[in-house]
Chains A and B, each alone.
Chain A
Amino acid sequence: MITPRTSWISTALLGSLAACTPAIDLEAERTALRATDEAWAAAASEGTDVELVASFWSEDATIYPNEAPVVRGKEAIIEFVRTSFDMPGFHVTWQPQEVVVAGSGDFGTTTGTNEFTVPGPDGALVVIPGHYVTVWSKNAEGDWKCVIDMFNSRAPATRAETP
């Protein structure tokens, strides 16, 4: 039976437990999320390690590519990355510009610009500048993982400069 006294004790206990809960440092979380997106971009720009690049998406992530079908789940994502890296001359790079983290500290978004180099219709390489939005969630290990990924083209493709 909860008496006023035990109720008071419970309230005090809950209050002290709440006081023990570490405050979420949102600035630190924003910095960590930006660093994760930048590390991902660096790995993707290398264009060699499919597993590493795919590891930045969650197991249940969904990619919404431009002018292409939706890619759902890790297995399909690995194949998507492998196919991209196998394209002659393929290169991708991106730069996060804005990072937002919810008050929970484990859910956030990044937006930024990207640039794809891919073979054009005639086989010659073209550069396609674009925008992207990614939605992130922390997994059980506390690592930021991308759960939603959409990108598009913000300007017409231009012929890539040959080295």
Chain B
Amino acid sequence: MERPATLTDADFEAIASLRTAVTAAILAGDAAAYAMLCTDDVRLLHPGTPLITGRAELEAHNAAMFEAVRVTSLTLTPVEVYGEGDLAYEVGTQQLSIEPTMPGFSASRKYVHVMRRDPDGAWRFAALISNDS
């Protein structure tokens, strides 16, 4: 893209840490830890799922999901990270496996994560969407 990047190295590092932290939370099945990485008004727009809005709703949704399935491997590979000021996005691919497997489950997906810098200075997920590759 030709737009000038305005994120600092520290911003890129924080966003990379966010990616690492959410991967760890999902692999640990820790819905509370996942929720803490999200903004208060986060929007989860996952395939096959109604819109999930807000940190509390997201935590309840993920807790139920982690009860049903265990994510045994997950790799998020960023393709592009861009942002201006307090708003950024990351596009990437993800590979995951779950137990037990489910009908129609796709192990290979594309994702867009929108991130916002909260007033406390921390970058958090504001919107998460993915689809099948």
Give chain A's interface residues, CB within 8 Å of chain B: 60, 62, 64-67, 70, 97-98, 100-104, 106-109, 111, 113, 131-133, 135, 137, 147-148, 150-156
Residues of A within 8 A of B112 (CB): 64, 133, 135, 148, 150
Within 8 A of A (CB), among B8-57: 43, 45-51
Give chain B's interface residues, CB within 8 Å of chain A: 1-3, 6, 43, 45-51, 83-87, 89, 91, 110-112, 114, 116, 126-127, 129-133
**Which of A62, A103, A155 is close to B48, meaning CB atoms less than 8 Å apart?**
A155
A137 to B46 CA separation, bound complex (whole angstroms): 24
User: What residue of chain A has the Cβ atom nearest to residue B126's Cβ?
Assistant: A100
**Which of A62, A103, A131, A153 is close to B85, meaning CB atoms less than 8 Å apart?**
A103
Residues of A within 8 A of B2 (CB): 60
20 A-B contact pairs sorted by A residue (CB < 8 Å) = A66-B132, A67-B132, A67-B133, A102-B84, A102-B86, A103-B87, A104-B84, A107-B3, A107-B83, A107-B84, A109-B87, A111-B43, A135-B112, A137-B3, A147-B1, A148-B112, A150-B110, A150-B129, A150-B130, A152-B47
Check B87–A152 contact: CB distance below 8 A. no
User: What residue of chain A has the Cβ atom nearest to residue B2's Cβ?
Assistant: A60
How many A-B pairs fall under 8 Å by CB?
A: 101
User: What residue of chain B has the Cβ atom nearest to residue A104's Cβ?
Assistant: B84
User: What residue of chain B has the Cβ atom nearest to residue A151's Cβ?
Assistant: B131
Q: State how many angstroms separate the Cβ of B2 from the closest Cβ of chain A.
A: 7
Residues of A within 8 A of B3 (CB): 107, 137
**Which of B83, B87, B131 is close to A66, meaning CB atoms less than 8 Å apart?**
B131
Residues of B within 8 A of A150 (CB): 91, 110-112, 129-131
Nearest 8 pairs of A and B residues by beta carbon: A131-B45, A102-B87, A152-B131, A152-B47, A66-B131, A103-B85, A107-B84, A133-B129
Check B87–A108 contact: CB distance below 8 A. yes
Check A64–B110 contact: CB distance below 8 A. yes
